Amino acid sequence: MIRERYLNGAILALLFIVPLWAHLADEPFTITLATRAVIFALAAVGLNIALGLGGLVSLGHAAFFGIGGYAMGILAFHAQSFTPVAEWPFVIHGTKSMPVIWLVAVVTSTIAALIIGILSLRTTGVYFIMITLAFGQMLYYFAISWRAYGGEDGLSIYIRNDFPGLNTLIPLHFYGICLAILCVALLFNAALARSPFGLALNAARQTPARVQAVGLNPTRLKLVAFVISGAVTGLAGALFADLNRFVSPAMFSWQMSGEIMIFVILGGVARLFGPVTGAVLFVGFELVLGGLSDYWLIYLGFLLLLIVLFARNGVIGLLAGKEAVHD
């Protein structure tokens, strides 16, 4: 079996090499596909914190993805139309500054994750799954009825947001920003998993009674993980909206939650590069199989069935074997 760290290094190298080759070969479409894969990977890294470390099966993570997307869309829309977002109790102007938009997306997603987490973690198992799904669908229908920002038709953005020192209209520059954020999220995820909090969270996932016996609150540990997870996924939503220059209620849909879950399962739950591998494979399947048939998701479903039956640790687990306890 290939050691996991070498496999992770190879995947990361591909994320650097392929877009550089596409830039030199004047293939902007390939860079856009790579950007899409990296953003999806970031969203899945967020879910993997809740699912892989905390054992929280959330089917409502599209709620945070959509909140991040609409945070970007609303701020950019008011920046391009030169109208304030709000006039009371004080004037709030729109902006096309990426760092400001990211901050707003992360803060709003964090608040939403805190509220949803407090209510959802009162339950466990299938009830937790259904409550997170319900929150996502509530926000989906709210976005459909939000006529001020396009309602069911969504909201188009005609400007590209700015990042200091870079021309974000150049596909490689925007890809570099997304890849840098993904790398930071992966480093944070790795550090979190090895930290005392991560070890306690892992213990709470396996034997909550023992964790409680030593004076820790398993529910509180899972809530913190859920909030961090929502914040990361919200940031991915802001980047996704910036890539497409379009936001719509579909970002809140249960199908989006399902896709983010697929990225994690396909690559490997609780594996550091599992979400990255799953997102890259998903975008690759979408490109190749989508060109052959409109029903390409059927083939993807069959592949997922094989992975669940014969490679329960995902593609990473299939290639690298069982994860070492100490590395």
pTM of the model: 0.94
Which residue from 54, 153, 72 is spatially nearest to 109, judged by alpha carbons? 72
Instruction: Compute φ and ψ for 247, nearest 5 degrees.
Output: -125, 145
Helix (H, G, I), strand (E, B) or coil at 293: coil
Domains belonging to the chain, first-starting first, are: 4-320 (1.10.3470)
pLDDT tens-digit series, residues 258-288: 999 999 999 999 999 999 999 999 999 888 8
pLDDT tens-digit series, residues 83-94: 999 888 889 999
Q: Which residue has the higher pLDDT, 244 or 295?
A: 244
Instruction: Tokens for 136, please give them.
Output: 């996502």
Please state, in angstroms and rounded to a whole number, the distance separating the CA atoms of residues 138 and 282.
Answer: 27
Q: What percent of the chain has pLDDT over 90?
A: 80
Q: Which residue has the higher pLDDT, 118 or 125?
A: 118
Q: Would you state the pLDDT for residue 323?
A: 64
Q: Would you state the pLDDT for residue 3?
A: 81
Quote the DSSP letter at residue 152. G
Quote the DSSP letter at residue 122. T
pLDDT tens-digit series, residues 184-212: 999 999 999 999 999 999 999 989 988 99
The DSSP annotation for 225-290 comes to HHHHHHHHHHHHHHHHHHHHTEE-GGGGSHHHHHHHHHHHHHH-TT-TTHHHHHHHHHHHHHHHHH
pLDDT tens-digit series, residues 143-196: 999 999 999 999 999 888 999 999 999 999 999 999 999 999 999 999 999 999
